[in-house]
């Protein structure tokens, strides 16, 4: 069975409580439940993971390297700072899609830079939880892209 891994970074466990005007009212648990339901319907294993700790995220990426058909990641604030997460993502041979709930380009200037966009197959920003669903459906559909190029 094809396995898709979804990794969420710091503060995403506070969705629904944290700045709902920016991030929406859905909780991470609700988003994850919907992602798992989509996976079940499409006969794809969906594994979700969230941590507020950079090292735990790196450990998870290393753990699933070579064991997944695709990876969706919202590194949260680590998007803008973590070379270590970037380096770990280079281990993933499957397509990686970067997702952000808010449009980072409509926010503070420091949020405009991503350390992983250039190594991701794609980036989905500004569509709230729908971005996760689109990323998952894209990976399930078998669109095989890596590093921005069709394979």
Q: How far is CA 66 from the centre of its chain?
A: 17
Catalytic residue among 23, 80, 112, 149: 23
Nearest to 94 by CA among 33, 151, 132: 151
Alpha helices in 42-108 (DSSP H): 54-64, 83-89
Nearest to 100 by CA among 79, 82, 121: 79
45 burial type by CB count under 10 A (0-12 exposed, 13-18 middle, 19+ buried): middle
- Which pair of structure tokens corresponds to residue 143? 């669109």
The helix/strand/coil state of 72 is strand
Nearest to 136 by CA among 39, 60, 57: 39
Q: Is residue 23 among the annotated active site residues?
A: yes
Catalytic residue among 80, 100, 105, 132: 100
Residues with a catalytic annotation lie at 23, 100
């Amino acid at each position: 069975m094809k396995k898709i891994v979804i990794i969420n970074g710091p503060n995403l466990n506070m969705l629904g409580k944290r700045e709902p005007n920016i991030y929406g009212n859905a909780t991470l648990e609700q988003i994850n439940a919907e992602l798992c339901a989509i996976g079940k319907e499409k006969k794809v294993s969906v594994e979700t993971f969230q941590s507020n700790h950079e090292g735990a995220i790196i450990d998870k990426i290393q753990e699933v390297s070579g064991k997944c058909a695709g990876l969706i990641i919202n590194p949260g604030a680590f998007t803008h700072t973590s070379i270590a997460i970037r380096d770990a993502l280079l281990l993933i041979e499957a397509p990686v899609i970067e997702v952000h709930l808010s449009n980072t380009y409509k926010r503070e200037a420091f949020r405009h830079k991503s350390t992983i966009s250039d190594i991701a197959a794609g980036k989905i920003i500004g569509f709230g939880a729908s971005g996760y669903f689109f990323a998952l459906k894209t990976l399930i559909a078998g669109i095989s892209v890596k590093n921005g190029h069709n394979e």
